[in-house]
Structure 1
Amino acid sequence: MAKKKVIVTCAVTGSVHTPTMSDHLPFTPDQIAAEAIAAAEAGASILHLHARDPADGRPTADPDVFMQFLPRIKQATDAVVNISTGGSSLMSLDDRLAAALRARPEMCSLNMGSMNFGLYPALDRYDTWKHAWEPELLEATRDSIFKNTFKDIETVLKLLGEGCGTRFEFECYDVGHLYTLAHFRDRGLVGGPLFIQFVFGVLGGIGPDAENLTHMKRIADKLFGEDYSFSVLAAGRHQMPLVTIAAAMGGNVRVGLEDSLYLGRGALARSNADQVARIGTILDALSLEVATPAEAREMLALKGGDLVAF
């Protein structure tokens, strides 16, 4: 039996890291477009995208900013565009959905529950900041919650799934999120080949241990049988070790500057493409083959890039 090809997702910028943390973090539309295109050329099957204020790099949900880079990425690559509905824990649900509803993409991320999402420990790592908003945003996560209630999830599934033909990267930050996804599956609100992203190392979610990865997979196997595929993302220094284990277990992988700013110990990644190329080398050493965007579309039953609104 042929080995299943590995889907490589690249999360280009996110809303976790700030400009002070790395000069290589893209935040203008030009930078995000260039980084996304280079990541696709390096082998990324899926591009997971957030937007940032072009003036100072703070997270933004403005659809007009998304539209400054989405068409350029589509024109230059065949990669699947996956738009975040997570945005930032400080955004409302309406804000987080605005760009996706405008763009009607093939895929969106969907966090499977409300949770504490603590970024404030990063405050201790820097003495000065490029922008005042950076420490303010990090401190705000000490007393805020990422909100995705059952009603919120129902809303996303109806507006984007039913309304736009969008399929989802179901982000599960803990074991309970798998049971929430099974609940929606049992209600008939999600179906088809599920694409589940196991998320490790976010303060408030499950820890970045190999034992937790095997546990998450064991529970997902119990709940979903063969009707799903999984991918792994891990925060910071845990990125490459855990995604490597995931690939060896038959899973897919996610890299990118949203999840880690580094390429190796003490070495900042100079681009998203650096991380894509690095995991490509690892997959090759494991005798695994990277899925093309067309193969990823087939594996995940996506509607096709010709049916988006950008």
Structure 2
Amino acid sequence: MPVWIEAALNGPWTRARQPRMPLTVAELVADGIACARAGAAIIHLHAYDPATGLQNDDPDSYAAIIEGIRAVEDVIVYPTLPFVQSADAFRPGAVEARYAAVEALGRRGLLEWGVVDPGSINLVTLAEAAQAQAGSVYLNPGEHILRGLHLAAEHGFVPSYAIYEPGFLRLGAALARAVPGCPAPVYRFMFSDAFTFGYPPRPYALDAQLRLLADAAPGSPWMVAGLGVDIRPLVAEAVARGGHVRVGLEDAPFGTETPNPALVAEAVALVQQAGGRPATAAEVRQAHPAARPPR
């Protein structure tokens, strides 16, 4: 069975939490190519400003990374969204500003997939909670979710749903059905060993998510992933149930010293041990096509 393997190269952490993550355009291109050669069919990334070390959602940077990777390897490459918290999410123009890079990339025909996170959560680690620290709030108001889905319909890219809590799945499925022309989403179940959201990476938790998916969006593609998580114990479970796998320094426990290509190679070995094989990007597109092919 072909299993999609996604490599999430860096995430929003900065090198303070993930010192091995790629940062510059050149580093991200090189890492994406290496991950593709190791067996990943899908590459996800955050663009950064090398001068400050902070995330910078610049469409030209994203375009350079996407085109740089795809010029060498045939893989699906897609960017993130800006992290929004507090009142910033509700200010005039916030929705348009948040999706500005996605819209620009969509107009250029560079997007096959795109991030749409259908819900909001308190983002706090177990260690922070034990010290009575509040953490932050990751906000995705309904207007933001719908903006992403309408852009997916307009530009033909597949919404990649991060399912942090069960309600994300139910809302995301309902909204995707309500937006005419929206491609069917991919449901990425987010597990964690470090954060308080959702479930730990346990088989009972995967079973619960799959039962809900069967009710809300039967037959939809899904994968196991997370933040601050060792997803390896769920790889065989995912393969046995017909799912897919995401790995990488965005998802891995903080301070992971293993580079992204080695994480992908390990995932490939675990998939093969479970009786699967890594899918090519062409097989992903055939199984779950975007509405429009990339340029």
TM class by shorter chain equals 0.7 to 0.9
The alignment status of 1:174 with 2:165, answered yes or no, reads: yes
Counterparts in 2 of 1:96 and 1:119: CA distance versus 1, 3 Å: farther
| Kept after mapping to 1: 8 A contact 2:152/2:183 | no
- Looking at structure 2, the residues matched to 144 and 237 of structure 1 have their Cα atoms a distance apart, in angstroms, of 19
SS in 1 for 2:3: coil
Counterpart code for 1:281: A
In the alignment, which residue of structure 2 is the partner of 1:153? 145
In the alignment, which residue of structure 2 is the partner of 1:96? 98
| Kept after mapping to 1: 8 A contact 2:124/2:134 | yes
Counterpart code for 2:268: G
In the alignment, which residue of structure 1 is the partner of 2:185? 194
Moved more, 99-108 or 238-247: 238-247
CA displacement, residues 162-182 of structure 1 (integer Å, 9 cap, x when unaligned): 221111111111111111023
1:51-130 equivalent positions in 2, closer than 5 A: 51-85=47-81, 87-90=82-85, 92-104=94-106, 105-118=111-124, 121=127
Equivalent residue in structure 2 for 1:293, among 276, 281, 294? 281
- Looking at structure 2, the residues matched to 122 and 25 of structure 1 have their Cα atoms a distance apart, in angstroms, of 23
Matched residues, percent identical? 27
| Kept after mapping to 2: 8 A contact 1:172/1:196 | yes
Name the count of aligned residue pairs: 279
TM-score by length of 1: 0.81
- Looking at structure 2, the residues matched to 186 and 62 of structure 1 have their Cα atoms a distance apart, in angstroms, of 30
- Looking at structure 2, the residues matched to 197 and 232 of structure 1 have their Cα atoms a distance apart, in angstroms, of 6
Equivalent residue in structure 2 for 1:207, among 187, 199, 216? 199
In the alignment, which residue of structure 2 is the partner of 1:128? none
For structure 2, the 5+ residue unaligned runs are: 89-93
In the alignment, which residue of structure 1 is the partner of 2:91? none
- Looking at structure 1, the residues matched to 120 and 145 of structure 2 have their Cα atoms a distance apart, in angstroms, of 10
For structure 1, the 5+ residue unaligned runs are: 125-140
CA displacement, residues 220-271 of structure 1 (integer Å, 9 cap, x when unaligned): 0122222x01111033343222334222321100001111157xxx9621x2
| Kept after mapping to 2: 8 A contact 1:196/1:229 | yes
Q: How far is 1:191 from its partner?
A: 5.4
Counterparts in 2 of 1:212 and 1:298: CA distance versus 1, 3 Å: same
TM-score by length of 2: 0.85
- Looking at structure 2, the residues matched to 274 and 123 of structure 1 have their Cα atoms a distance apart, in angstroms, of 32
Counterpart code for 2:118: M
- Looking at structure 2, the residues matched to 123 and 59 of structure 1 have their Cα atoms a distance apart, in angstroms, of 25
| Kept after mapping to 1: 8 A contact 2:159/2:184 | no
Counterpart code for 1:296: V
SS in 2 for 1:254: strand
- Looking at structure 2, the residues matched to 276 and 203 of structure 1 have their Cα atoms a distance apart, in angstroms, of 23
The alignment status of 1:162 with 2:157, answered yes or no, reads: no
In the alignment, which residue of structure 1 is the partner of 2:294? 305
The alignment status of 1:233 with 2:228, answered yes or no, reads: no
In the alignment, which residue of structure 2 is the partner of 1:8? 5
SS in 1 for 2:230: helix
In the alignment, which residue of structure 2 is the partner of 1:274? 262
The alignment status of 1:253 with 2:253, answered yes or no, reads: no
- Looking at structure 1, the residues matched to 176 and 35 of structure 2 have their Cα atoms a distance apart, in angstroms, of 33
- Looking at structure 1, the residues matched to 136 and 228 of structure 2 have their Cα atoms a distance apart, in angstroms, of 22
SS in 2 for 1:231: strand
Equivalent residue in structure 2 for 1:216, among 202, 209, 218? 209
- Looking at structure 2, the residues matched to 172 and 188 of structure 1 have their Cα atoms a distance apart, in angstroms, of 19
Counterpart code for 1:234: G
| Kept after mapping to 2: 8 A contact 1:10/1:46 | yes
